């Protein structure tokens, strides 16, 4: 059975299929070809709440890289922001948003797992 992955911050991008890359702290267990259930929220559900699945995705590639790569290389950052579902954003803007939703112990030099995926019908 496929694992569930939360896209609470980017639910619209998943529903619109404008997101093809996600960056995660952890998730090093994924391999190319793995199938994952994209969900609104997977953890911290209140009593009676159920997992809301958005669809399935197939992992195309995965690699570890510093989050700062999006800042240090502005062209790369802009391209990656589009793949993350944020067209018109800079790498700086994406990294700021990402870090705003993480623990304060993480910074721009944090290593993240860059996961590229495709949508399944």
For 81-96, what is each residue's pLDDT tens digit? 999 999 999 999 999 9
Unique residue bearing structure tokens 């995926």: 117
Q: Which residues pair with 111 in a beta bridge?
A: 66
The domain containing residue 24 runs over which residues? 3-119
Q: How many domains does the chain have?
A: 1
Task: Give how far the C-alpha of residue 29 lies from the chain's centroid of Cα atoms, to the nearest Å.
Answer: 15
CA–CA–CA angle 65, 66, 67 (5° rounding): 115
75 contacts: CB under 8 Å, gap ≥ 6: none
Q: Is the pTM of this model over 0.85?
A: yes
CATH of the domain at 61: 2.30.130.30
For 49-72, what is each residue's pLDDT tens digit? 888 999 999 999 999 999 999 999
């Amino acid at each position: 059975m496929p694992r569930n992955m939360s896209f609470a911050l980017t639910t619209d991008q998943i529903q619109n299929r404008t997101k093809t890359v996600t960056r995660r702290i952890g998730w090093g267990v994924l391999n190319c070809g793995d199938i994952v259930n994209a969900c609104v929220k997977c953890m911290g559900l209140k009593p009676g709440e159920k997992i809301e699945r958005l669809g399935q995705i197939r992992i195309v590639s995965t690699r570890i890289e510093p989050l700062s790569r999006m800042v240090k290389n502005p062209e790369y950052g802009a391209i990656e922001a589009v793949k993350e579902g944020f067209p018109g954003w800079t790498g700086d803007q994406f990294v700021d948003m990402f870090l705003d939703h993480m623990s304060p112990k993480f910074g721009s030099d944090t290593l993240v797992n860059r996961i590229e995926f495709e949508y399944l019908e």
